[in-house]
Structure 1
Amino acid sequence: MRNLCFSPKSSSSSSFVTSHFPSPCRIGLSPSRPSFSESVMDKTLEMAEPMIVKWNPESTTLAKVTSLFYENRKEARDFIESVNNLQKAMHLVAGDSNSEKLVRCQMLMQIAMKRLQKEFYQILSLNRAHLDPESVSTRSSCISTRSSTSDYNDDEDDDKIVIESISEVEDASSIAMADLKLIAECMISSGYAKECIKIYKIIRKSIVDEGIYRLGVEKFSASQIHKMNWNVLDLRIKNWLNAMKVAVKTLFNGERILCDHVFASSDSIRESCFTEISKEGAMILFGFPENVMKNSKKSPDKLFRVLDMYTGISDHLPEIDSIFSFDSTDSVKFQALTSLVRLGEYVRTALNEFESTIQKDSSKSPVAGAGIHHLTIDVMNYLSILADYSNILSDILADSPQPQKNSLPEKSLFGFSDAEEYPTPAISLKFAWLILVLLCKLDIKAEYYKEISFSYLFLANNLQYIVARVWTSNLKYILGDEWLSKHESKVTLFSSNYERLGWSHVIDSLPKNPTVGISLDQIKEIFKNFNSSFDQAYQKHSLCIIADRKLLDDIKASISKKIAPVYREFYNAHSAKMKSRRNLTHVIKFAPENVENRLSNLFFGTVE
């Protein structure tokens, strides 16, 4: 301004005189000199007019087809500086509306704004690849280190250091963003914010809307979703899950960064632009889960996909809050939270439906070999997968209304301590309750066996399968050591009852003291009773199946320990007497090795 407002320095005395005493010209002794504001205006017009006219988009062919910012970056900087100086000069003579120079300034300002409008539009349009949300969001850290004039810094060495620190694509993005910010600030300060904002909103909204569409997210009515079969809807949900990640982390995040950068000088403009650009697409994206929940039957089969959607929103809530932090975007955050609530309600209802499905199982045919029931396999497969969503389920179930204490059985029935000082998490109670419902159902199915020993083997097999699935999945963290210990003890109890009821008549057929001297008739009777009871037990129980290797080994070892050594002692002590009588040789049906082999071949579902 000093160069614009003052003539070259003179002596200090003359300077003092001219500044403190009126000159002859000022008191009418000679023609009047230009005023301070006129001098500024003259100098500003002299410098600004040639450049602005040169780039009048309606005058020369060059100005029509060429971009100022692309052709000569230093000249673009000078152009902006000239417009800013022109704006300042106009303020000095604003009171004189009839000033011919003010009219010239206004005409030049209109030409300059048309030029800048054209430049703003071209930069936004031609740099779509460099200003795509992904490029912007991944280089946001670079933006914070570069001011709006960093690309126009006279210190070329400093510029070179900055440019070399980022890739070519990032550099192009940085330059485009800096250009947009420079133009926006100039147009806003010149009173042309409306024109600048209109261009920005139109172009950027089309990019966001196109991005949402390319991600496979469409706006569906409630009736359209209701008519979709599950396979089609499931595919839409998968698309949505992928779109959620990209849209939040890249699309909306990048758009917010760009908007904040370009319109950094005005909070209200930043908010207005970002809201209008992103709100519609965000409402479609975050509203999709709510529409699905409203129009889908609460089925346990769909629960995992619903949990995926819940995870998709909850994992990105902090980012959603940060990106849509304006008051005018509160409805976007509310929509995301509403969808989250609806998804949570669906999960709780679906879990209740799953419980009902267990209770409704009406199969009455005993499982061959007292093996593992398909219901046990299905339920534990389902719960094992559910356990992978334990963090999400903990949040959902913690928010659900808790039943009255008197409406629930004692915690000990669940497999937990009743101590009040150690409250059991809601998710643990829910999973334990579902397994308890399964066990109650298995108790009923165990009654379908005619042999009571088979009933206990059936219960041991199925409970062992449940315990094993808990051990090998995240269920062990949900249910805990206490639950596992109590149910492992129940497996031992069931297997002991099976052994007692299924093999006690074989064990009892042998004498307590196998080596004590007894009569030949007694020996004969003992061999006959053992032959009959052992053969009968073997024929029945060799058809049984124990899938769990540890349980199989434990039961076989226990039965063999009670029968094989006793029989061998009895056989060694008395078989010679029987073999010495021809007519009694046939009484000894099994050698000790035969008994041991048969016991070792039990529970494979086959008969020798």
Structure 2
Amino acid sequence: MTRKGMRSVFFRPPPSSSTPSTPSPHSSSPPLSDSIVEEILEVAKSFLARWGPHSTTAASLFQGDDRDESRQFIEVVNKLYAVMHYLASRDSSSDKLVSAHDLMSTAMERLQKEFFQILSVNREYLYSESVSSVQSPMPISVRSSVSDFELETEDEFGIANESISEVERVSLSAMADLKAIADCMISTGYGKECVKVYKTVRKSIIDESLYNLGIQKLSFSKVQKMDWEVLERKIKTWLKGVKTAVKSLFEQERILCDHVFSASLPIRESCFAQISKDGAMILFGFPELVAKYKKSPEKIFITLDLYEAIADLWTEIKYIFSSTASSNVQSQVVSSQIKLGENIRTLITDFEMSIQKESSKKPVPRGGVHPLTSYVMNYILFLSDYSRILNDILADWPLPEQLSMPESYYGTPKEEDSPITLRFAWLILVLLCKLDGKGEHYNDVALSYLFLANNLQYIVNKVRISNLRFLLGGDWIERHESRIKLYASKYGRIGWNGVFSSLPADVKTEISPEEARESFRNFNRAFEETYRKQTSWVVPDQKLRDEIKISLAKELGALYGEFYARNRVRTRRVSESDPVVRLSPDDLSNYFSDLFYGS
């Protein structure tokens, strides 16, 4: 066969109607013979003389838009590999086999150089949007089964050429070149050398990217010695960077690695695991270190943020590190979540204990809202924002059986009640029991009931304006509103009992003028004394304040109004300075309007 004829067989032009493909040693080719082997070795020697690893012919085989030379180089390597198999089967010690092996080594050295150069030059482009676009619903093992060099028509990633940016075009071109080289080196037995180059470049990129995101390797002892303010800043940095690390670093690196090494499932899984493992273990090991830090109830919210961040990214993490080679990363993520969950349950227990152990005995001035009430309810309110993940954390952590929840406080638990519903109801019950004890510190029983009404009203208001209303439900709110009315009623009966008892038992009964005058005097004295004492009391909630005033005005105003109407004209003024009838029913309403402002 003439040289011209040989080249026409060796370098086949791509079919005009289909994508040019990279020949493999197993693709269809003319049967080998000694003469064809001679021709192949001659062409390969000539080609590698121009494109050897130390050749100055050009900077790179894979530069520019014309890919004829790079395609031909790949064909040279594949044909050379077929020749080596042919010669080895005939005479494993022949000079021609040694020559072919030397030529192959030269070609592989060149491809290694090209592979390294493409990775290095394009390191900032391989995380562009075009890398993300490689994703598809199909399994990874099927995703990259198309040709290597096609970028002129709608390419293997499903992106129309005219619709992509220049950066994306560069990235797609580099990815195709990397895949072509990797396919060739793997198919000819040089996959190990190819992977070594890839790992060297890409691992450094992962490590550098994590460092730029503020993710640093920390030891347990170093974390334990940190001030909380320092650790909190590191946690916030981690929270800010973890989504980027997973979705824009590890996920795209996985996609890139899967594409480049699509020719071998074991290689791509092993390669990705080796370049990502160290960085991933540092990233996902940090939350576990935080979980072991000194505990206090206030740290629960940022701990929940850590747990939530992992939970929200779990689907991506599970996909990215799904191989057996990456199983230790998944194990670390699971371990961090378990430790965070345990930490959160401990912090909730500590929070409950802090409520029970609160020991202040000084009554809140004027019967207002206790600081413990506002602290606990704000804490629970913030917790309710994490109800989705708290249900997961508390799912296997029911209330202790010995801690029965009175039906009057919560109602009969329902099967559909979530763990967080029961837990929040229990925490509020613990608070209410504590408040009952606080109410006993008042010397005035009426004021203690006003205190209880004020604090329960504050609790119900917090439930109404937050996610707690969905968790605890309308029945819970109605039940506790009934208790507020009960407390308010008891306050009214006890606090104004002296005023009510100053009037005759039956205000419609006929009495003498002297008895009427005495009743008016007793009423004036009792009302002024009660009013003077209670003007310093406070009801912060306007709705509750108005309801108590209206109730007093209706009940006391009605009795006094009846007595006033029947007996006012039957009394006479004892002296100008001591009028017997000092207050009219309208005066009572005016006095009531001034109550509960703490003046």
TM-score normalized by the length of structure 1? 0.88
SS at match of 1:598: helix
Aligned to 2:302: 305
Distance in 2 (CA, whole Å) between partners of 1:574 and 1:499 is: 25
Distance in 1 (CA, whole Å) between partners of 2:159 and 2:416 is: 60
Distance in 2 (CA, whole Å) between partners of 1:177 and 1:137 is: 12
Aligned to 1:62: 57
SS at match of 1:586: coil
Aligned to 1:86: 80
Distance in 2 (CA, whole Å) between partners of 1:413 and 1:158 is: 70
Distance in 2 (CA, whole Å) between partners of 1:505 and 1:402 is: 46
Q: Percent of pairs identical after alignment?
A: 49
Shift in alpha-carbon separation, 1:426–1:568, aligned structure 2, 3 A: same
Deviation at 1:130, TM superposition (A): 1.0
Q: 2:37 aligns with which of 25, 34, 41?
A: 41
Matches within 5 A, 1:258-273: 258-273=256-271
Distance in 1 (CA, whole Å) between partners of 2:406 and 2:502 is: 43
Deviation at 1:301, TM superposition (A): 0.9
Aligned to 2:427: 434
Q: Which amino acid aligns with 1:186?
A: C
Aligned to 2:354: 357
Structure with greater Cα Rg: 1
**Contiguous gaps of at least 5 residues in structure 2:** 10-30
Matches within 5 A, 1:2-401: 37-59=33-55, 61-63=56-58, 66-71=59-64, 72-94=66-88, 95-97=90-92, 99-132=94-127, 136-137=131-132, 139-141=134-136, 149=147, 151-152=149-150, 156=152, 162-294=160-292, 296-400=293-397
Asked if the contact 1:134/1:250 (under 8 Å) is kept, the reply is: no
Shift in alpha-carbon separation, 1:480–1:401, aligned structure 2, 3 A: closer
Greater shift in the superposed pair: 38-47 or 323-332: 38-47
Over the residues paired in the alignment, what is the CA RMSD in angstroms?
2.7
SS at match of 1:78: helix
Distance in 1 (CA, whole Å) between partners of 2:193 and 2:205 is: 19
Deviation at 1:317, TM superposition (A): 1.7
Distance in 2 (CA, whole Å) between partners of 1:316 and 1:278 is: 17
Shift in alpha-carbon separation, 1:236–1:138, aligned structure 2, 3 A: farther
Distance in 1 (CA, whole Å) between partners of 2:159 and 2:258 is: 25
Asked if the contact 2:409/2:480 (under 8 Å) is kept, the reply is: no
Q: How many residues align?
A: 569
Asked if the contact 2:148/2:179 (under 8 Å) is kept, the reply is: no
Judging by fraction of residues, say which structure has more helix.
Answer: 1
Deviation at 1:218, TM superposition (A): 1.2
Q: Which amino acid aligns with 1:287?
A: G
SS at match of 2:33: helix
Asked if the contact 1:371/1:547 (under 8 Å) is kept, the reply is: yes
Q: 2:448 aligns with which of 419, 434, 455?
A: 455
Asked if the contact 1:310/1:340 (under 8 Å) is kept, the reply is: yes
Q: Which amino acid aligns with 2:175?
A: M
Distance in 2 (CA, whole Å) between partners of 1:106 and 1:317 is: 48
Aligned to 1:12: none
Deviation at 1:134, TM superposition (A): 6.8
Q: 1:589 aligns with which of 575, 579, 582?
A: 582
Distance in 1 (CA, whole Å) between partners of 2:361 and 2:143 is: 73
TM-score normalized by the length of structure 2? 0.89
SS at match of 2:170: helix
Distance in 1 (CA, whole Å) between partners of 2:32 and 2:180 is: 29
Shift in alpha-carbon separation, 1:338–1:89, aligned structure 2, 3 A: same
Distance in 1 (CA, whole Å) between partners of 2:585 and 2:335 is: 73
Greater shift in the superposed pair: 85-94 or 239-248: 85-94
**Contiguous gaps of at least 5 residues in structure 1:** 8-34
Distance in 2 (CA, whole Å) between partners of 1:306 and 1:580 is: 74
